[in-house]
Amino acid sequence: MSLVTSTPTKKFQRDATMANVPPLARAVLVLMGFNVMILW
C-alpha cells in the first residue's frame, strides 16, 4: 500500500481510536501532544 493511500487510513484509525478513549485519557494525550510541540 502506498503512502498516499495509507495516510487517510491512518488518520481514520487514529480518529476512531480517539473516539473510544475516555475523555480524561484523551485530555492527557492532548496535553502530552502540546508538550511535545512546545519542546520541539
* Confidence tier at 40 by pLDDT (50, 70, 90): low
The domain spans of the chain are: 3-39
Determine how many CB atoms are found less than 10 A away from the CB of residue 34: 10
pLDDT number for residue 20: 67
pLDDT number for residue 4: 52
- Over range 14-39, report the average pLDDT: 75
pTM for this predicted structure: 0.35
User: How big, in percent rounded to 5, are the helix, strand and coil portions of the chain?
Assistant: 90, 0, 10
For residue 27, pLDDT beyond 60: yes
pLDDT number for residue 35: 77
Q: Bigger pLDDT: 3 or 19?
A: 19
Indicate the residue type of 8: P
